[in-house]
């Protein structure tokens, strides 16, 4: 196939770098020969424009003061960003939504027995860090959308606070009913911790940063090093976003002035129990005061104590009270009208709000997006006319709950479903390796883009560097071999945790998320220390990777905006589906085996026989015999989709013969619409079981992992929850969706065939 020939060339090219320029003269997927040449010249011009100096200046300005939702500087930043776009000639405006955004009124964490200790809940200013002392402007350390509460109870340590951790507590005879649970950050998205704690009967939840995962164990702490200092706290939302993100009061619709709003008490995404985040400085006296069984080895962090499970003698008083106010969020929306296909929209976004000063999160991504926008403006002055409409967004309210992007996507759902080709997202960016996530029909396209971008630290493409990284990190030589031999690097599926969520999961719009990271390290996430001082010392001091990120995203967007034929490759999708289906069968088998083995071990008294009689040990519960799952329908549907993908690939291969010269004269508008509608065909109107907001049937954030993705989630989560009947039903539902998608792909293939012959 044509694509693989291109890739083979590319692969050689990145080995011998002087050849990189020659590669750029090769065929470009979806472009005619003339188009490809022109595009590559434009892209090269583009990649020379983004300026690290501008990025540094913009970051210094945008992170000069705390700029959370509802703060004066949040509005000031939105206005400044709007002014930039306008000054560069974009058609820009601010779109405002009104959302529920609680801020702390009262916060108390105190040990009341066996001794007394009051947690500081305060991040001290650091002399050499000029913005760390803006206490009057800073949001206190808290978890947004914690319910108000005033509770006192024994403390239980629940590790990362995921469901399996409560199974382990049960083995030790520890119940969290009536207890306050202390969990550590990591292992899941933070919002999962109070949710699962409440499901198990806890009355309150603390989340602390253990120095093992986030502190001195990893390196020197701020300000000497990049890592979380003793009093550093990770703020963050705990709204139950795996149910629905966005304003808790307006699920599924935009939070416009006239939107119908739920009463606060009916907002399902507010936590059921009060929760606060604390530093390891505050956590240590609490943990050290605990009794009960010694925590399992994997639960122990790096504090100089014996980690114990509780409950008792440590008792804690936890109080949380918030101002439950409505606040405005300001989305900056800027547009370049497409020249020939104005109704096909390429959308790109990065949020501008932060928990505090937020230099890394999100300004490091925001300043790159701004430089892309400035560069596009320059190209347009030079005569560039993108075929498709380009929409650049600077979202507000991402931190509390993806508010700005979700409300905008919900408000404009109908037109977005009609016109949106792809949504490209970024958030934080720092030194390191490319991270590539998104819709798998874009996997080859993303690889092509990555082959066009030079790594600023090494004289190779970012693709080659990522391949090297993956080879190095792979554990077995077999895995290393496989990575080395794959023409394309796999891209990851998207879960949640940033603004792409509504576009992908609610609207079924193809997504791409590209960013750099992995070398900066650091532990200032969502603290007052995530600021200009930190970023320019540890994140990306020269903004070299800021420039690289702008080059990468801009190149992808230009190619998508200019292509005659959108660069979908459904064979990448069908290969991914086969992998997922295999995983589901393995998961089902493994779960079956585990249930059978556990029940047999219970019958034979294995757990009781092996336990230490001086310790409390409760054997696991006997489980119901699992139902055998029949995957035939799913495999058939994937087969159908694979055939459709192969059909499209054959037509596409013919179209791209002779460098794609057939594209020059073809009329492709309806083909392209059919292409981007294939992602919509992967959704179901009913959504996922129990959470109808999530329509996409291939990707979703896990109900019990939060940010972590679950692929083919309706089936996978049913198996994980051992809901066999539901799993079997959902195999049918997903199969139906895949048959629908296969028909859409087949339709696109036929349309393309017709359009060029």
Say how far apart CA 512 and CA 509 lie, in whole Å: 10
Beta bridge partners of 387: none
Q: Which is nearer to a copy of itself, 315 or 470 (CB)?
A: 470
Q: Which is nearer to a copy of itself, 227 or 676 (CB)?
A: 227
Residues that bind a copy of itself (CB under 8 A): 15, 211, 216-221, 225, 294, 300, 302-307, 431-432, 457-458, 460, 464-465, 468-469, 471-472, 477-478, 480-481, 484, 519, 590, 593-594, 596-597, 600-601, 604-610, 612-614
Report the nearest approach of a copy of itself to the CB of residue 216 (Å).
5
Report the nearest approach of a copy of itself to the CB of residue 504 (Å).
30
Say how far apart CA 375 and CA 347 lie, in whole Å: 16
Nearest alpha-carbon partner for 743 in 613, 633, 627, 647: 647
State the distance between the two ends of the chain, measured CA to CA, in whole angstroms: 20
Residues of the chain by 3-state class (helix, strand, coil), percent to 5: 45, 15, 40
- Residue 341: which H helix or E strand, with range? strand 341-351
Residue 269: half-sphere exposure toward Cβ, Cα within 13 Å: 31
Q: Is residue 309 a contact partner of residue 292, using CB atoms and an 8 Å limit? A: yes
Say how far apart CA 708 and CA 719 lie, in whole Å: 17
SS (H, E, C) 2-32: HHHHHHHHHHHHHHCHHHHHHHHCCCCCCCC
Q: Which is nearer to a copy of itself, 80 or 607 (CB)?
A: 607
Say how far apart CA 151 and CA 156 lie, in whole Å: 14
Report the nearest approach of a copy of itself to the CB of residue 282 (Å).
15
Q: Is residue 145 a contact partner of residue 400, using CB atoms and an 8 Å limit? A: yes
Report the nearest approach of a copy of itself to the CB of residue 349 (Å).
30
Q: Which is nearer to a copy of itself, 296 or 708 (CB)?
A: 296
Q: Which is nearer to a copy of itself, 140 or 541 (CB)?
A: 541
Q: How far is CA 581 from CA 428, 634, 638, 709, in A?
A: 32, 8, 9, 15
Q: Is residue 538 a contact partner of residue 226, using CB atoms and an 8 Å limit? A: yes
Q: What three-state secondary structure class fits 108? A: strand
Q: Which is nearer to a copy of itself, 18 or 613 (CB)?
A: 613
Q: Which is nearer to a copy of itself, 87 or 459 (CB)?
A: 459
Q: Is residue 679 a contact partner of residue 509, using CB atoms and an 8 Å limit? A: yes
Count of C-beta atoms within a 10 Å radius of residue 392 = 25
Q: Which is nearer to a copy of itself, 477 or 667 (CB)?
A: 477
Q: Which is nearer to a copy of itself, 304 or 383 (CB)?
A: 304
Report the nearest approach of a copy of itself to the CB of residue 469 (Å).
4
Report the nearest approach of a copy of itself to the CB of residue 309 (Å).
12
Report the nearest approach of a copy of itself to the CB of residue 594 (Å).
6
Query: What would the two tokens of residue 596 be?
Result: 């059978």
Q: What three-state secondary structure class fits 173? A: coil
Within 8 A by CB and 6+ apart from 626, the residues are 591, 592, 595, 722, 724
Q: Which is nearer to a copy of itself, 98 or 452 (CB)?
A: 452
Report the nearest approach of a copy of itself to the CB of residue 15 (Å).
7
Report the nearest approach of a copy of itself to the CB of residue 280 (Å).
10
Report the nearest approach of a copy of itself to the CB of residue 310 (Å).
15
Length of the chain: 757
């Amino acid at each position: 196939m044509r694509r693989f020939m291109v890739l083979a060339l590319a692969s050689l090219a990145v080995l011998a770098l002087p050849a990189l320029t020659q590669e750029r003269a090769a065929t470009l997927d979806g472009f005619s020969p003339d188009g490809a040449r022109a595009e590559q010249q434009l892209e090269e011009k583009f990649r020379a424009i983004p300026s690290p100096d501008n990025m540094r200046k913009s970051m210094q300005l945008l992170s000069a003061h705390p700029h959370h939702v509802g703060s004066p500087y949040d509005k000031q930043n939105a206005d400044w960003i709007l002014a930039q776009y306008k000054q560069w000639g974009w058609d820009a405006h601010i779109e405002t939504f009104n959302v529920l955004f609680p801020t702390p009124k009262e916060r108390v964490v105190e040990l009341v027995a066996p001794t007394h200790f009051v947690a500081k809940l305060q991040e001290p200013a650091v002399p050499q860090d000029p913005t760390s002392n803006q206490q009057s402007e800073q949001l206190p350390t808290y978890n947004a959308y914690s319910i108000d509460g005033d509770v006192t109870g024994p403390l239980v340590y629940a590790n990362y606070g995921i469901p399996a951790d409560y199974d382990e507590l049960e083995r030790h005879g520890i119940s969290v009913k009536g207890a306050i649970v202390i969990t550590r950050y990591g292992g899941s998205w933070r919002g999962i911790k109070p949710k699962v704690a409440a499901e198990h009967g806890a009355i309150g939840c603390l989340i602390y940063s253990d120095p093992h995962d986030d502190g001195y164990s990893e390196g020197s702490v701020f300000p000497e090093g990049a890592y979380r200092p003793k009093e550093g706290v990770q703020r963050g939302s705990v709204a139950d976003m795996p149910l629905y993100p966005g304003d808790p009061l307006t699920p599924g619709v935009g939070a416009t002035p006239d939107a119908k709003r739920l009463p606060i008490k009916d907002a399902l995404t507010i936590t059921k129990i009060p929760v606060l985040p604390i530093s390891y400085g505050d956590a240590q006296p609490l943990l050290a005061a605990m009794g009960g069984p010694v925590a399992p080895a994997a639960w122990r962090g790096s504090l100089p104590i014996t980690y114990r499970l509780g409950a008792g003698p440590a008792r804690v008083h936890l109080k949380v009270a918030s101002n439950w106010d409505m606040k405005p969020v300001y989305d900056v929306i800027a547009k370049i009208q497409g020249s020939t296909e104005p109704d096909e929209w390429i959308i790109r976004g990065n949020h501008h709000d932060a928990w505090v000063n937020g230099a890394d999160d999100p300004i490091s991504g925001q300043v790159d997006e701004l430089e892309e926008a400035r560069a596009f403006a320059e190209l347009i002055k030079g005569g560039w006319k993108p075929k498709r409409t380009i929409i650049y967004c600077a979202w507000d309210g991402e931190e509390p709950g993806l508010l700005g992007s979700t409300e905008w996507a919900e408000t404009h759902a109908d037109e977005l479903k009609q016109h949106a080709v792809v949504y490209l997202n970024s958030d934080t960016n720092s030194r390191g390796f490319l991270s590539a996530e998104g819709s798998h029909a874009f996997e080859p396209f993303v690889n092509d883009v990555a082959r066009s971008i030079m790594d600023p630290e090494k004289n190779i493409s970012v693709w080659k560097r990522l391949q090297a990284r993956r080879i190095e990190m792979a554990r077995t030589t077999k895995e290393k071999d496989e990575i080395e031999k794959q023409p394309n690097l796999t891209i990851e599926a998207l879960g949640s945790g940033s603004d792409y969520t509504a576009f992908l999961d609610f609207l079924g719009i193809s997504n791409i998320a590209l960013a750099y990271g992995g070398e900066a390290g650091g532990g200032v996430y969502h603290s007052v220390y995530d600021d200009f001082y930190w970023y320019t010392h540890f994140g990306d001091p020269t903004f070299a990777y800021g420039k690289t990120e702008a080059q990468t995203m801009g190149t992808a967007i230009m190619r998508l905006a200019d292509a005659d034929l959108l660069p979908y490759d459904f064979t990448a999708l069908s290969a991914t589906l086969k992998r997922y289906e295999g995983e589901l069968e393995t998961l089902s088998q493994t779960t079956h085996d585990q249930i059978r083995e556990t029940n047999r071990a219970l019958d034979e008294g294995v757990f009781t026989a092996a336990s230490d009689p001086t310790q409390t040990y409760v054997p696991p519960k006997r489980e119901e015999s699992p139902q055998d799952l029949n995957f035939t329908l799913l495999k058939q549907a994937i087969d159908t989709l694979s055939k459709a993908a192969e059909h499209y690939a054959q037509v596409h291969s013919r179209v791209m013969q002779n460098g794609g010269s057939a594209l020059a004269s073809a009329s492709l508008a309806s083909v392209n619409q059919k292409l981007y509608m294939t992602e919509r065909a992967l959704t179901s109107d009913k959504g996922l079981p129990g959470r109808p907001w999530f329509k996409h049937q291939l990707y979703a954030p896990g109900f019990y992992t939060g940010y972590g993705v679950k692929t083919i989630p309706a089936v996978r989560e049913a198996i994980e929850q051992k809901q066999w009947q539901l799993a079997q039903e959902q195999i049918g539902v997903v199969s139906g969706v895949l048959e629908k998608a296969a028909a859409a792909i087949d339709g696109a293939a036929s349309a393309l065939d017709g359009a060029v012959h």
